[in-house]
């Protein structure tokens, strides 16, 4: 499972990564890329900027993915033009960002992101202009608007595989950091000193994991070595930014592999501290539940089925919840209020690390609340629960818990049967609950009138809601 980390040890390249002042140039006969493969809007932007006298290239992920025969999710342009100069060339352009100023050029629903070449930050405080660049005490970049040359921009890129520049006019690739070599060898390698680059932006550690999982690459050993030591620096990252990064990690179709790598590199703890604690004290159950949820999330994404962050976060945080509920019940609080109080406390703590929006925290709590309500099926409760808009998500989550080894005395199968049954069969099922503790325990397995054995529902990783 962790082959991506250990592939790195086969690389014979030297430890220190030097940026060339002149790139390796791959002409059209030396690579597989063609101008027609790229977004016509992105190509048009490059051509217009070049005609206006600026340098301009398609850059980064779109070039990397095309070389790997992967369809890029977006197309980015890098240029010598400043954001103001870009906006002057395109009426449909809008400058965004403060920490990292960019230009978005709109073509209907398609947005092409255009960035000005960046340079290295000044080494001394005296040389630093706080309006253009600034760092905190640990070296993390707070503002990054120091513009530079193409060569300097290549050096500022995070990974070698992202420091590739494609000119659709001449159909040449400019490679400043052996990026094509690392693509061929399937390696994620930081440009420059890894420790310094992670200190500049700790999110690069998460990006290394995301690219390794997405591309099925290994992390080069010198790029991987500082991660465990520097992982706590993620606590300094704004919680809103981490929410976006976590969605990229777990909703890209490779969540299961991503989780394994986050745990191995000790990056899971600063993201989900309560769940990491549960993983330490109850490793088999916690690992199984989260892995099952992520495996099925990946499957739904591959099948183009909808997924919701609410279900994902509900699964990632659930292992930390039962112990808190139990403590409150031991103090005399009834089960449902105990669940609600523990859920409120856990989500509030988690939002200090990852700013989960209220539109997701409310469904998370409702999914968890359903876990206390689903065992209570007597009288009209079962039908009322079935009509609850969160029933399906709560039922899916119940099956997830059972797949991780929780003993529910057949509760998941009971609800599977109840959904399939007609009115008469449902009344019989409710009567069978008589004498049991408010239906909290599962019923005896009943004989089906149709005689046909129905398959139990599969466990999805995210509700369709």
DSSP-derived secondary structure for 368-411 = HHHHHHTT--TTTHHHHHHHSTTHHHHHHHHHHHHHTT---TTH
d(CA 57, CA 73): 17
- 383 part of the active site: no
Q: Distances in Å between the alpha carbon of 146 and those of 122, 169, 191, 409?
A: 9, 27, 18, 62
Report how far residue 293's alpha carbon sits from residue 301's, in angstroms, rounded to the nearest whole number. 12
Torsion of CA 317, 323, 327, 332, to 10 degrees: 80
Helix axes of 255-264 and 283-302: crossing angle, nearest 10 degrees: 150
- 438 annotated active-site: no
CA distance 410 to 357: 34
327: number of Cβ within 10 Å: 12
Other C-beta atoms lying within 10 Å of the C-beta of residue 151:
16
Widest distance between CA atoms in the chain:
84
Q: Closest Cα to residue 8, out of 255, 185, 257, 262?
A: 185
- The answer to whether 258 and 264 are in contact (CB under 8 A) is no
426 with 418: CB under 8 angstroms? yes
Q: How far apart are CA 246 and CA 241, in angstroms?
A: 9
Q: What distance in Å separates the CA atoms of residue 40 and residue 440, rounded to the nearest whole number?
A: 60
State the catalytic residue, choosing from 76, 144, 182, 417: 76
Cα–Cα distance measured from residue 151 to residue 68, given in angstroms and rounded to the nearest whole number: 24
| CA atoms of 342 and 348, how far apart (whole Å) | 10
Instruction: For residue 94, give the H/E element and its range.
Output: strand 93-96
CA distances from 75 to 32, 173, 305 (A): 17, 15, 25
SS3 187: strand
- To the query of whether residue 298 is one of the catalytic residues in this protein, the response is no
Among 65, 153, 158, 417, the one annotated catalytic:
158
Residues belonging to the active site: 74, 76, 158
């Amino acid at each position: 499972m962790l082959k991506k980390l250990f592939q790195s040890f086969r690389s014979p390249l030297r430890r220190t990564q030097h940026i060339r002042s002149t790139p390796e140039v791959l002409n059209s006969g030396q690579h597989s890329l063609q101008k027609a493969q790229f977004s016509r809007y992105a190509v048009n932007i490059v051509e217009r900027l070049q005609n206006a006298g600026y340098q301009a290239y398609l850059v980064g992920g779109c070039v990397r993915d095309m070389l790997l025969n992967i369809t890029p999710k977006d197309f980015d342009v890098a240029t010598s033009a400043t954001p103001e100069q870009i906006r002057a060339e395109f009426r449909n352009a809008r400058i965004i960002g403060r920490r990292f100023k960019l230009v978005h050029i709109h073509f209907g629903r398609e947005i092409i992101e255009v960035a000005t070449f960046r340079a290295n930050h000044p080494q001394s405080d005296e040389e630093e202009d706080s309006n253009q660049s600034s760092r905190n005490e640990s070296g993390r970049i707070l503002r990054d608007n120091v513009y530079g040359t193409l060569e300097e921009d290549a050096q500022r890129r995070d990974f070698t595989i992202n420091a590739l520049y494609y000119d659709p006019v001449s159909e040449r690739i400019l490679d400043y950091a052996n990026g094509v070599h690392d693509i061929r060898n399937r390696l994620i390698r930081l440009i420059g000193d890894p420790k310094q680059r992670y200190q500049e932006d700790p999110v690069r550690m998460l990006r290394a994991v995301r690219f390794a999982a997405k591309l099925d690459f290994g992390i080069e050993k010198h790029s991987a070595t500082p991660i465990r030591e520097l992982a706590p620096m993620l606590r300094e990252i704004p919680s809103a930014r981490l929410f976006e990064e976590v969605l990229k990690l777990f909703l890209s179709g490779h969540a299961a592999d991503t989780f394994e790598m986050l745990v191995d590199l000790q990056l899971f703890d600063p993201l989900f501290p309560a769940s990491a604690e549960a993983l330490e004290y109850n490793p088999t159950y916690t690992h199984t539940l989260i892995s099952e949820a992520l495996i099925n999330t990946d499957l739904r994404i591959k099948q183009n089925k909808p997924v919701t962050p609410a279900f994902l976060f509900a699964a990632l945080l659930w292992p930390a919840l039962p112990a808190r509920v139990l403590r409150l019940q031991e103090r005399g609080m009834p089960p449902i209020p105990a669940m609600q109080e523990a859920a409120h406390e856990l989500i509030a703590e988690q939002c200090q690390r990852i700013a989960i929006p209220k539109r997701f925290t409310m469904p998370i709590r409702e999914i968890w609340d359903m876990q206390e309500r689903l065992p209570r099926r007597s009288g009209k409760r079962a039908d009322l629960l079935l009509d609850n808009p969160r029933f399906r998500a709560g039922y899916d989550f119940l099956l997830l818990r059972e797949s991780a080894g929780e003993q529910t005395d057949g509760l998941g199968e009971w609800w599977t049967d109840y959904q399939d049954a007609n009115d008469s069969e449902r009344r019989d099922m409710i009567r069978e609950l008589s004498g049991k503790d408010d239906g909290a325990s599962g019923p005896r397995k009943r004989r089906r009138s149709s005689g046909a054995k129905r398959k139990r529902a599969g466990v999805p990783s995210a509700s369709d809601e």
